[in-house]
Amino acid sequence: MPRFSYEAFDASGQISGGDLDATSEAAALHALAAMGVTPISLESGTTKDPWWAREISLTGATPAHKPIEIERFFATFASLLAANLPLCASLRFCANQSHDLRMQRSLGRIALSVENGSTLRDAMNDENGLFAERLVTLVGIAEASNTLSETAQRIAELLNAEAFLYHEIRGAMVYPIILLTTAALVMAVLVFYLVPTLTPVFVSAGADIPLPLKVMLVLRSLAIDYWFIIFALATCLGGAFLFARKALYAASATAMRCFPIVGRMIVQHATLEICRNLHLMLSSGARLTTAIATARDAARIRGNAELMDHALREVQAGALLSDHLCSAKGFDPVAAAMIRAGEQSDQLTVVLGRIATDLNQQSARTLKQVVQLITPIITLLIGGGIGIVVLSTISAIMDLNELAF
């Protein structure tokens, strides 16, 4: 059905705007009259944000809403529905409470579509990817089973748990990043200040320049004479990494699984993502095949998408989910055994929730172990490298003093 954007005077005399679906322009005007507003303008197509309010996407795709905004929406939305506030009123309240302009306009369009007779799932689906497919599917299941409030609360809890894990990862990387930044600054001081200061001393004395100083002298010359080439290469490499980061992660994940602690963390993270999505879908009333298909489509890790795709085909052929997971290399074997027990006892949903809780705690502990391992290694490498440069330079200077006397 065509969509029209409009601006109109409401009953209070204020100018408001939005979008609506109608078969024709005449039908759109009739719908506006039924809403009790006086139209000012009516155009075919949806309302576009001003250029300064639009999200920039380097890949050309429309970026989804920020996870924090979606989490806040579902948390508030669940509370309002639990208080028996009507659906449209809840959506408009969430739109007014949001501080994100894109979320405000998106929820406004959704509320208007629902008022015009659309389902919440269809209205969210019409946002062209602003809401993740798994969330849209869950909303549709919740509408069919009349459990929208409970499902919205589960979605909010899931998004909060995911945000907490990524917050822990980012927080754990702060200290290593500070170390690397400090090392880069120290090297810059050595290259651009120490080298030009000490090089004339060795040249005037006719002594050989120490190897570390020679290396830094070459780096200084490259940085000064070919900085534009270095900048262009860094930009190209950054862009290539941005577009190919998922493929690079998938390629490196297989090799990194061989490391004792890092490999366990990767497997735990992949298993946690699958179990969370399956538990959320099954606890909301979805069938197992629907839950597996949604977990496949929502997978952030390519290996998980392939794993769920194979599992879906086997389950549709009559096999158990655990039959495939027990033989999968990228899935935690303990979790697979628990899933088998849950299928045999007809308690799969409960078992998946327990697995997700346990893996969340294990992932946090494993992350701390990784940070505790990486931090001293980085410190030793940085300190050792700088120490070698300083000691070799001091030793060469002392040799010069011995020659002078």
The answer, yes or no, to whether residue 401 has pLDDT greater than 70, is no
Q: What is the pLDDT of residue 252?
A: 66
- Do 112 and 157 fall within a single domain? yes
Question: Is 40 strand, coil or helix?
Answer: strand
Q: How confident is the model at residue 253 (pLDDT cuts 50, 70, 90)?
A: low
Q: For helices 260-283 and 148-172, what crossing angle results, to 10°?
A: 170
Within a domain: 320: yes
- Do 159 and 205 fall within a single domain? no
Q: How many domains, in total, are found in the chain? A: 3
Residue positions counted in the chain: 405
Q: What is the pLDDT of residue 255?
A: 66
The answer, yes or no, to whether residue 139 has pLDDT greater than 50, is yes
In one letter, which amino acid is 242? L
Q: Which domain holds residue 90?
A: 67-169
Within a domain: 337: yes
Q: What is the pLDDT of residue 405?
A: 47
Q: Which tokens belong to 83?
A: 């208080």
- Do 268 and 333 fall within a single domain? yes
- Do 183 and 323 fall within a single domain? yes
Q: How confident is the model at residue 63 (pLDDT cuts 50, 70, 90)?
A: low
Residue entry with tokens 């200084």:
220
- The region of weakest confidence among 103-112, 249-258, 343-352 is 249-258
Q: How confident is the model at residue 128 (pLDDT cuts 50, 70, 90)?
A: confident
- Do 209 and 95 fall within a single domain? no
Question: pLDDT of 225-237, one tens digit each?
Answer: 888 888 898 888 8
- Do 336 and 382 fall within a single domain? yes
Question: Is 146 strand, coil or helix?
Answer: coil
What CATH number did the domain enclosing 119 receive?
1.20.81.30
CA distance 270 to 352: 14
Within a domain: 138: yes
State what percent of residues in the chain have pLDDT above 70: 85
Within a domain: 146: yes
Question: pLDDT of 5-33, one tens digit each?
Answer: 777 777 666 666 666 677 777 777 777 77
Q: How confident is the model at residue 51 (pLDDT cuts 50, 70, 90)?
A: very low
- Do 290 and 151 fall within a single domain? no
- Do 302 and 154 fall within a single domain? no
Question: pLDDT of 141-191, one tens digit each?
Answer: 888 888 888 888 888 888 887 777 777 777 777 877 888 888 888 888 877
- CB burial string 139-170: b at 16+ within 10 A, e below: bbbbbeeebbbbbbbbbbebbbebeebeebbe
Question: Rounded to two decimals, what is the model's pTM?
Answer: 0.65
Question: Is 9 strand, coil or helix?
Answer: strand
Within a domain: 237: no
Phi, psi of 83 (to 5 degrees): -85, 10
- Do 159 and 177 fall within a single domain? no
Question: pLDDT of 332-360, one tens digit each?
Answer: 889 999 999 999 998 998 999 899 888 88
Within a domain: 231: no
- Do 324 and 208 fall within a single domain? yes
CA distance 403 to 201: 13
Distances (CA, A) of 294 to 25, 85, 139, 288, 396: 37, 29, 13, 10, 65
- Do 270 and 142 fall within a single domain? no
Mean per-residue pLDDT of the chain: 79
- Do 81 and 140 fall within a single domain? yes
The answer, yes or no, to whether residue 53 has pLDDT greater than 80, is no
Within a domain: 62: no
Within a domain: 244: no
Q: Which tokens belong to 249?
A: 């992660």
Residue entry with tokens 């061989």:
258
CA distance 287 to 252: 34
The answer, yes or no, to whether residue 400 has pLDDT greater than 70, is no
